[in-house]
Structures are given as C-alpha cells and as structure tokens.
A and B are shown apart, each in its own frame.
Chain A
Amino acid sequence: MDKSNNKLFIHRDMKPVTLEHSVEIILTPQFYTFIREDLDIRFAYQAKQIAASLFDDYLNASSEHQYHVNKCQNQWCFFAYNIEEIDKFLESVGIEKHRVSKIYFAQELENSLTHPIQLSEKNILQTIDGTVTLIPRQLMDSNLEFMPLDIEAVKLNSGITMGASLNSFISLKETILLSSLFLILGTIFIIEGSRIKSSVSNDEAIALQLTQKHSKYSDSGFRTNLLKKYQPIKKHELSKRQSIKDIAKLLSANSQLINLTIDKNAIKAAIKASNNNVAQQVNRNAKAKKLKSSMTGLNVKVEKKI
C-alpha cells in the first residue's frame, strides 16, 4: 500500500495489505445495513435510541449489532454493523485494530459514486437510487467504463472510531449524569474541606503572632511551668484576701478583733463579742461564709485553710 494513502475501501475481495501507518477505512455495503428514514426527530441520540427497532426485520437477531446514525439532507441515515465481524475481517487482511483511526460508510460517497468504480474483478460500487450499492461485475455491461475516484480528495464527515463502536457497559447519558453528580459531590467536599481548614486559620494567626512577640512562651513545657508557678499564687492570694474581707464583715461595735494571723496553710482569727447573742450571731455568720468557726463563751474562733 502506498504510504500516502490514508483511506482504504474495505470489501470481501480485497487483497491483504501491509500497513505502516494509520488508515481511515471506508466500509462497503458488504459490512453494513443501511436504512434511510424520514422521521420527526430532532437529535441524533434520539434517533440512535430507535435504531435497533428499525433494523428488527432486516438483521439476524442472533448476532450483536452496533448502530450509527447521521443526518443526511432532511432525513436520518441509519447504519447497522457488526464490529466483531469487521474486526475479524480486518485481521484476516492484515489490518491491525490500532491502525484504524476512523471508520466511514461508503454511503457517504453517495454523490461521488454516480458513476461506477471498480472495487475488484468481481464487484463494482455505484449509487443506485441514492444508495451506494455493491453490484456484481457480471451483471453490468461488459463495455462499461469506470470513472476514476480519488478517495483521498473526498471529504468524509460522519466517521466512527473502532473503540467507540464497541459497546460500553454504561451509556453516555448515564455517564454524563453520574459523572456530573460525582463532580458536584467532589466540589462540595473540597469547598467544605477548605472552609473547615480556614476556620482554624484565624486562631493559628493569633497563636503565631503571640509566639513571635513572646518567643520564650512557644515552648509548652515552659508555659506549663509558668502556669504552675502563677496559678496557685493567684488562687491562694485571692483566697486570703476574700477571707480577710469575710472576717472584717464579722466585726462590729459589739464584736472586736483579738487577733488575725496568716501563715502558709491557714488564715485564723479570734473575735470577742460583747454578749452571748452577738457571739452566736458572729458564729452563724462565719459559718454562712464557709469559715470554720467555734465558740467558747464570748470568744469566736474562725479559720480557713488556704
């Protein structure tokens, strides 16, 4: 095969070829069934959905077929083909699958085949009543002249790929629907993840600012030691001050402070009342303020552990 030839007619009588580059193949009617229908359908995918039912009466139900639909003028052109059969035949003539870049149907050459071309010694290809047809050579006039056809010059539009023609487990519609759902879901997860991460970034900035300003506090051990040092001071000193205030509230013209001491462990005070009633009142008030209190005659002793 000439290296410059990129398009190749595929027919049963063709001789084996040796390919060193990819080719676009044009299937002759031996490899497909063609129907042209005038249908009130707008989109190709809708036409493809009814393709199988159109070929019900023409095809052998025992073998699996693939369908291709394209709009031709104001009608719909339906093609049914068996990709496995084509694949086997291509192999038999030395064309490897990966060399086939595109598959076209000879029907696309409808306008170019108004005059017959010779495919092989046995068959010719010609458009008859708008349909590209394979005709046995013997049925034609022996003096028939063939017109040369430069298929490289013919522009073909409605091609299919070998892989795409094989059936996927999931339809394109389902793929689009499910993929969109997963993409939306994924995007939601990413947005949510970013939002969650950014929620802590403000705190991170504050922490960074604080540790930059007070670098010695960046060590958690050092912080713990400082807290161990200062927190008990705060607790004990506030307790001492509150106790002094509480004891001061127990004092009056009838109850005088005898002594008050603060040491490492406790704050203690002794109060002397002018009479028994006052002493009892002081004792009750001290207990109400959660001070340990005891009364001996007119003397009331109060105590609080630090």
Chain B
Amino acid sequence: MNLMTLQRYKNELILLFAVLFALFAFIYKLSANAYVKENRTEITQKISEINTILTLKKQWGGKGLGSSVAKLKTVISPSKIKSFNKKSKKLIASYSGLTGNELSKLTNALINIPVQITQLNIQQRSKNQYTMEFTCKW
C-alpha cells in the first residue's frame, strides 16, 4: 500500500480508526463490567467471611472467657458448690441446695457467658431446693 492509496482513502482510514477506538473502548467497558461482576461477589464474600470469623472467634473463643467462667464460682455461696473443675478450656461444675432465686441468678450468669453449654441438668430436690450440674467449654 503506497502513500497515494493511503491519501486516497484518508477519510475512510480516519473513520476506521475512530470506529476501532470506539469498539476497543466498548470492549474495555464490557471487560470492566465482567471483572467487577466476577470479583465484587468474591471480594464482598471474602470481607464478610473474615469479619464473621473474627467476630465469632472473639465471641465464642475469646481469651478472656477463662476468667469470666471463674466468676460462676463467686455468684453462689461456696458452701453450695459441690465441685468446680476448670481444666484447660472446659468447666464441670455441680451445685446443690440452690433456692429458686439462686438457681435463676446462676443460670443467668451462665447463659450470659459465651461458652458452649454441652450439658446442663437442673433437678428439684424438694420445694424451692434445686441441684444444678453443667459442663461447658470454650
């Protein structure tokens, strides 16, 4: 293709470049759209997952839970604590002679600590006299 031919089709060439520019720009827009569509869900999910894990770990596996659980020993008079075994991240406790109010107080204290209550057994021994045994871990 010599210079003369180029000059002859100058207008067509200018138009062709403009069309190609618009076409490539359109492809760029489409690819940007596809990129965002593909990545937005993934990125949002990633952020949400990490934040959820951080919250869950902090709530259900936090480092301060050991000391929170120890407070269950002080809620009730020591004379009513049959056993209180705290080992590693597990607590097995047993209480007896609890009044209705003490039972309520102890139960509320337990459910307000974010530990896994694996076992709970409350029994009425006589009127307004209860025993309570539970196992929890964190």
Q: Which chain A residues have a beta carbon within 8 Å of chain B's beta carbons? A: 97-98, 100, 161-164, 166, 168-172, 174-175, 178-183, 185-190, 192-194, 196-197, 199-200, 203-204, 206-207, 210-211, 214, 217, 220, 223-224, 226-227, 230-231, 233-234, 236-237, 240-241, 244-245, 248, 256-264
Contact = CB atoms under 8 A, between A and B. Distances in A.
Contact of B46 (A220, A226, A234, A245): A220
B9 A168 contact: yes
B85 interface: no
Contact of B8 (A100, A168, A220, A227): A168
B132 to A, nearest CB: 9
Interface string B69-112: 00000000000000000000000000000001001100100010
B10 A200 contact: no
A217 B53 contact: yes
A260 B98 CA distance: 14
B104 A186 contact: no
Contacts of A220: 46, 49
Interface residues of B, number: 65
A26 to B, nearest CB: 18
B22 A163 contact: no
A74 B100 CA distance: 117
Interface in B14-29: 14-15, 17-19, 21-26, 28-29
- Chain A interface mostly: helix
B67 interface: no
Given A193-B25, A234-B60, A237-B114, 7 more contacts: A164-B10, A186-B18, A200-B43, A244-B111, A258-B124, A259-B123, A260-B121
B63 to A, nearest CB: 15
16 contacts: A98-B3, A166-B7, A168-B8, A168-B9, A169-B9, A182-B21, A194-B32, A211-B46, A214-B54, A223-B49, A226-B56, A233-B56, A233-B60, A236-B116, A257-B122, A257-B130
Contacts, number: 190
A230 B57 CA distance: 7
A256 B124 contact: yes
Interface of B: 2-12, 14-15, 17-19, 21-26, 28-29, 31-33, 35-36, 39-40, 43-44, 46-47, 49-54, 56-57, 59-61, 100, 103-104, 107, 111, 114-124, 127, 130, 134
B53 A226 contact: yes
Contacts of B104: 248
Interface centre among B5, B18, B49 (most CB of A within 10 A): B18
A185 B50 contact: no
Given A183-B18, A186-B22, A204-B43, A227 B32 contact: no
